[in-house]
Amino acid sequence: MKMSEEHYWEHRNRPFYNKLVSYMSSGPVVAMVWQGLDVVKTGRKMMGQTNPTNSLPGTFRGDFCVIMGKNVIHGSDSVESAQREISLWFKESELCEREGCSAKWIYE
């Protein structure tokens, strides 16, 4: 099974599944884990709406996408989904916690 098939397995019975898997497998993928306060909510705001035509300028989808089937970026929709997806893409040994030098000025 391709990584993209496994990643979107929950959508396997949806009509867009095969196109989605094909698109995700059509070129390089850069997988990353973001951390921070309300990171899922904040990350989704930075990505823009799933349908790029509803996305604001300055978001990934607002600036780099035209149609929904090729919306250039995926982000987990919940902490639970993120945990599942992170374990799919990364080994535990590949992950590390990081606190930037500005954290003491940003977080209480």
Average pLDDT over residues 16-26: 91
Q: How many whole angstroms separate alpha carbon 39 and alpha carbon 62? A: 19
Catalytic residue among 74, 82, 84, 89: 74
Decide if 11 is catalytic: no
pTM of the predicted model as reported, rounded to 2 decimal places: 0.82
67 burial level (CB within 10 Å; 0-12, 13-18, 19+): exposed
| 99, part of any domain | no
Domain that holds residue 21: 1-30
Domain containing 68 — which CATH number? Answer: 3.30.70.141
| 106, part of any domain | no
**Per-residue pLDDT tens for 45-101?**
999 999 999 999 999 999 999 998 888 999 999 999 999 999 999 999 999 988 888
